[in-house]
């Protein structure tokens, strides 16, 4: 998944077997949707860009449907075709991309250009790509929770790179303590959330970033500008499903601060947001 992952099963009759089943589900999604694997479905779709449609199954159709919802909800800021920007923004880069290069790559971005029919997808221009990293990780967390419940697990958490979905409370009935990292020191928590169910996700550029000179640039790239997002520092959201929490936190991070805070408030989901001056904003519903 390109990040540290942890599954903790506490209410389990056979944790080794059940844990392996859950890990198998994570590996299945990674093999199918990772843009880093040449054998993945995503890589096949990208290779066929400008050439021919790629057949897809119902699961993939559902994920793409949700990506479309996020695109509409974010006014085009959450765009799974924006992964092409990573051609320009690399972790080891030492200079900013040239404006002409950014303009050339952003020309290939546009979810509205993608042609879909039930059971197939076509990226119409050679060089276009999709990257499902902003959706699939949270989708997998939800899938693992459902699998664990089917296996009879009653207590545990799934942590995929800080996106956390709760299987059930601790065996004692107590809630799990989930920390929201301090942007200045990721070993400390600025808030601790007690959770017995649901999911909490955090989006921010303070742990994953590109450093050029004395400035840090977020890994989260804005498809409307071609530049890293430079708005709120971090956003955490609680929802019944990790995929919903993750999309809300990511979309908010791509918006200007005032717009993001209004968007989060209108969502009705409990949230915590941190601006670049390290002011903390919380929902009326405590997070």
CATH number at residue 265: 3.10.520.10
Task: Give the pLDDT score at 231.
Answer: 86
User: Does the residue 25 lie in any domain?
Assistant: no
* Same domain (yes/no): 275, 203: yes
Kindly state the DSSP code that residue 72 receives in the 8-state scheme.
H
Low-confidence residues of the chain, pLDDT below 70?
1-2, 205-208, 285-287
Task: Give the pLDDT score at 207.
Answer: 63
Global model pTM greater than 0.75? yes
CATH code of the domain in which 50 resides = 1.10.3980.10
Task: Give the pLDDT score at 15.
Answer: 82
Instruction: Determine if residue 173 is left, alpha or beta; phi over 0 gives left, psi from -120 to 50 gives alpha, anything else beta.
Output: left
Task: Give the pLDDT score at 90.
Answer: 85
Range of the domain at 123: 36-131
User: Does the residue 222 lie in any domain?
Assistant: yes
Q: No. of H helices and E strands in the chain?
A: 7, 14
Domain count of the fold of the chain? 2
Domain boundary among 78, 101, 131: 131
Task: Give the pLDDT score at 205.
Answer: 63
Task: Give the pLDDT score at 1.
Answer: 61
* Same domain (yes/no): 94, 182: no
* Same domain (yes/no): 127, 180: no
* Same domain (yes/no): 117, 182: no
Task: Give the pLDDT score at 277.
Answer: 87
32-39 contacts at long range (C-beta below 8 A, 24 or more positions apart): 32/60, 33/63, 33/132, 33/136, 34/2, 35/83, 35/129, 35/131, 35/132, 35/133, 36/2
Domain boundary among 131, 154, 184: 131
């Amino acid at each position: 998944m390109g990040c540290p992952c942890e599954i903790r099963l506490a209410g389990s009759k056979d944790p080794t077997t059940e844990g392996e089943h859950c890990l198998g589900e994570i590996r299945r999604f990674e093999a199918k949707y990772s843009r880093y694997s040449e054998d993945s479905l995503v890589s096949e779709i990208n290779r066929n860009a400008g050439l021919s449609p790629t057949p897809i199954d119902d699961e993939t159709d559902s994920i793409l449907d949700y990506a479309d919802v996020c695109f509409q909800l974010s006014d085009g800021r959450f765009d799974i075709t924006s992964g092409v920007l990573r051609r320009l923004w690399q972790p080891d880069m030492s200079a900013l991309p040239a404006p002409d290069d950014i303009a050339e790559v952003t020309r290939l971005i546009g979810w509205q250009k993608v042609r879909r029919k039930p059971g197939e997808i076509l990226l119409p221009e050679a060089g276009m790509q999709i990257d499902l990293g902003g959706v699939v990780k949270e989708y997998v967390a939800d899938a693992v929770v459902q699998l664990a419940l089917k296996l009879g697990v009653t207590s545990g958490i799934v942590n995929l790179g800080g996106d956390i979905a709760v299987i059930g409370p601790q065996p004692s009935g107590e809630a799990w303590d989930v920390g929201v990292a301090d942007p200045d020191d990721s070993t400390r928590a600025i808030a601790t959330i007690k959770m017995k169910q649901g999911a909490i996700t955090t989006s921010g550029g303070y742990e994953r970033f590109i450093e050029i000179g004395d400035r840090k640039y977020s890994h989260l790239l804005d498809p409307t500008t071609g530049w890293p997002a430079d708005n709120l520092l971090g956003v955490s959201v609680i929802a019944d499903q990790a995929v919903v929490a993750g999309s809300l936190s990511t979309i908010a991070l791509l918006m200007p601060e005032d717009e993001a805070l209004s968007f989060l408030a209108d969502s009705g989901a409990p949230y915590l947001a941190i601006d670049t001056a390290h002011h903390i904003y919380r929902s009326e519903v405590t997070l």
